[in-house]
Amino acid sequence: MLLRENPSTEALEAWIIQLRREFHRYPELSFEEYETQKKILKILGELGVEARKIADTGVLASIRGTLPGPCIALRSDTDGLQVQEELTERNTDYISRNDGIMHACGHDGHMAMLFGAARLFQENRNFPGEVRLIFQPAEEIPPGGSERVIAEGGLEGVDAIMGMHIFTNHESGSVGFRPGPFMASTNRFEVIVKGKGGHISKPESCIDPVRMATDFLSNLYPALKKQLESDKYIVGVGRIRGGAQFNRVPDTVEILGSYRTFDRETTDIIDRTIKECLDEVVKRYAKPGEEFSGFPDYELDILHGYPVLVNNPKFTSAVNSKLQESFPELTVYPELEKTFAAEDFASYLQKVPGIFISLGTLNQEKKIVEINHSCKFDIDEEILVTGTEIFYTLSLDFLKNPEKYLNSQGCFNTEPLRKSLKIDR
């Protein structure tokens, strides 16, 4: 790396690692990142960077060069997860002090790398245009903090955007991405199956919502398999809840699940199939008689969360070329497989061209192998200076040569996904 050849890099790297550990010790949940926000504002103030609050618990900052030019935004997420961190041989010094909350997805490292890039730009102001820093809250919960940032003007005047995420799906220090659809949309469905409760010894007087729920799920999976190829979607149920005691048929059963897709057509097929399977179950369990009037029934609530994350093809191609040119020793995967992971960074990419980059942290020798969201998740801190330099080098190249990165006619179709579909029968 270019920074590795600079004698001052050792101090910068130590500072970045220190910041990452400070953020790791005190994680906060989505839209509760008040202390994190205070820390971010304090560090920016020490660097002399102008900043303001955005999206309630986020921070927006700007560093302007000495010459006029375009604006590129760099984004980090800031929220932790509701996970109890487990003590390991590595994290003794920086294990979470906030009980039941953990930076189990690398957001502490994302913030540290963004500060590293900010420090480099602040110390070397001889560049055209503006670098916009977005410290965004609430990436972990749909619809995500990105929509708040956008609604409050965080992208005004921005010509392009970059984000980076630490993952254990490739080796430490390598980077990966792909042009076009890269990460899936995330969608949630909630069903309330309504039966008719009563004593379990009188099944003829009841309509059992437990059996209805079981049949619904048993029918849903094969119905989708008939219509869709397996690599186009994932569907699963995270919670089934109903009943209170062993000898009573309950009145309702609640089902909470989700599905992920890479295009609107697949999303529409799954929406429709869920409803059709529920209609079929209601029809099958219907009974004659006035006492069964209005039973069985269901309520269906579908929330379309993060859209598909689509990397702008021209921007991605320019990033790949610049990385190959500037970092010949860097392992780059320019055609990573699409992933069913989801990210609210997708909303930014619907507004301006840019790229979302995966930064690998898998290191068998250091026993850094746990996947994101694990209670033992950790990162190889050597990658932080790598991510910092990638942010800095690509941003600087864009500011000096925006024509390499941008299409004259704009980018991705910004048609928004529907946010919800609610059916009350």
Q: Tell me, what CATH number does 50's domain have?
A: 3.40.630.10
pLDDT digits (tens, 9 = 90+) for 211-234: 999 999 999 999 999 999 999 999
- If asked whether residues 293 and 315 sit together in one domain, one would say no
Q: Which of 105, 108, 86 is nearest to 33 (CA)?
A: 108
Instruction: Give the chain's length.
Output: 425
Which of 114-128, 322-336, 405-419 bottoms out in mean pLDDT, i.e. has the lowest? 405-419
- If asked whether residues 189 and 323 sit together in one domain, one would say no
Q: Is residue 383 part of a domain?
A: yes
- If asked whether residues 174 and 236 sit together in one domain, one would say no
Q: What is the pLDDT of residue 414?
A: 41
Q: Which of 314, 316, 319 is nearest to 406 (CA)?
A: 314
Q: How many domains does the chain have?
A: 2
Provide the pLDDT confidence category of residue 412 given band limits of 50, 70 and 90. Answer: very low
- Is 348 a residue of the active site? no
- If asked whether residues 74 and 158 sit together in one domain, one would say yes
Q: What is the pLDDT of residue 367?
A: 95
406 Cβ contact list (under 8 Å, min separation 6): 159, 160, 314, 315, 353
> In the chain, what percentage of residues exceed pLDDT 90?
93
Annotated binding residues for Mn(2+): 105, 107, 140, 165, 373
- If asked whether residues 108 and 204 sit together in one domain, one would say no
- If asked whether residues 332 and 287 sit together in one domain, one would say no
pLDDT digits (tens, 9 = 90+) for 40-49: 999 999 999 9
Which of 38-52, 293-307, 363-377, 406-420 bottoms out in mean pLDDT, i.e. has the lowest? 406-420
Q: Are 305 and 341 in contact (CB under 8 A)?
A: no
Q: Give the residue-averaged pLDDT of 370-396.
A: 97
Catalytic residue among 26, 259, 306, 392: 306
Q: What is the pLDDT of residue 8?
A: 73
Q: Give the residue-averaged pLDDT of 163-189.
A: 97
Q: Which of 305, 332, 356 is the last residue of a domain?
A: 305
- Is 94 a residue of the active site? no
- If asked whether residues 315 and 176 sit together in one domain, one would say yes
Residue with tokens 């869920």: 274
Tell how many helices (H) and how many strands (E) occur in the chain.
Answer: 9, 17
Q: Is residue 191 part of a domain?
A: yes
- If asked whether residues 157 and 234 sit together in one domain, one would say no
Rounded to the nearest integer, the mean pLDDT of the chain is: 94
Q: Which of 200, 203, 224 is nearest to 277 (CA)?
A: 224
Q: What is the pLDDT of residue 4?
A: 58
Q: Is residue 423 part of a domain?
A: no
Instruction: Transcribe 253-286 into DSSP letters.
Output: EEEEEEEEESSHHHHHHHHHHHHHHHHHHHHHH-
Q: Is residue 352 part of a domain?
A: yes
Q: What is the pLDDT of residue 407?
A: 85
Q: Which of 144, 124, 121 is nearest to 62 (CA)?
A: 121
Provide the pLDDT confidence category of residue 415 given band limits of 50, 70 and 90. Answer: very low
- If asked whether residues 343 and 371 sit together in one domain, one would say yes
Q: Is residue 378 part of a domain?
A: yes
Q: Which of 256, 278, 305 is the last residue of a domain?
A: 305
pLDDT digits (tens, 9 = 90+) for 178-214: 999 999 999 999 999 999 999 999 999 999 999 999 9
Q: Which of 155, 156, 161, 158 is nearest to 129 (CA)?
A: 158
Q: What gap in Å lies between CA 411 and CA 160, rounded to an integer?
A: 10
Q: What gap in Å lies between CA 117 and CA 3, rounded to an integer?
A: 12
- If asked whether residues 290 and 193 sit together in one domain, one would say yes
Q: Is pLDDT above 60 for 292?
A: yes
- If asked whether residues 155 and 133 sit together in one domain, one would say yes
Task: Give the pair of three-digit tokens for residue 262.
Answer: 């890479």
Q: Give the residue-averaged pLDDT of 141-161.
A: 96
Q: What gap in Å lies between CA 331 and CA 211, rounded to an integer?
A: 52
Catalytic residue among 13, 147, 343, 381: 381
Q: Is residue 261 part of a domain?
A: yes
pLDDT digits (tens, 9 = 90+) for 10-38: 899 999 999 999 999 999 999 999 999 99
Q: Is pLDDT above 90 for 6?
A: no
Strands 332-333 and 175-176: parallel
| Domain range for 235 | 185-305
CATH of residue 275: 3.30.70.360
Q: Is residue 74 part of a domain?
A: yes
pLDDT digits (tens, 9 = 90+) for 343-372: 999 999 999 999 999 999 999 999 999 999
Provide the pLDDT confidence category of residue 423 given band limits of 50, 70 and 90. Answer: low
Provide the pLDDT confidence category of residue 394 given band limits of 50, 70 and 90. Answer: very high
- If asked whether residues 71 and 208 sit together in one domain, one would say no
Q: Give the residue-averaged pLDDT of 289-294.
A: 94
Instruction: Provide the angle, in degrees to the nearest 10, between the axes of the packed helices 383-400 and 9-25.
Output: 110
Q: Is pLDDT above 70 for 9?
A: yes
Provide the pLDDT confidence category of residue 421 given band limits of 50, 70 and 90. Answer: low
Q: Is residue 417 part of a domain?
A: no
Q: Which of 254, 281, 305 is the last residue of a domain?
A: 305
Q: What is the pLDDT of residue 10?
A: 87
Q: What is the pLDDT of residue 235?
A: 98
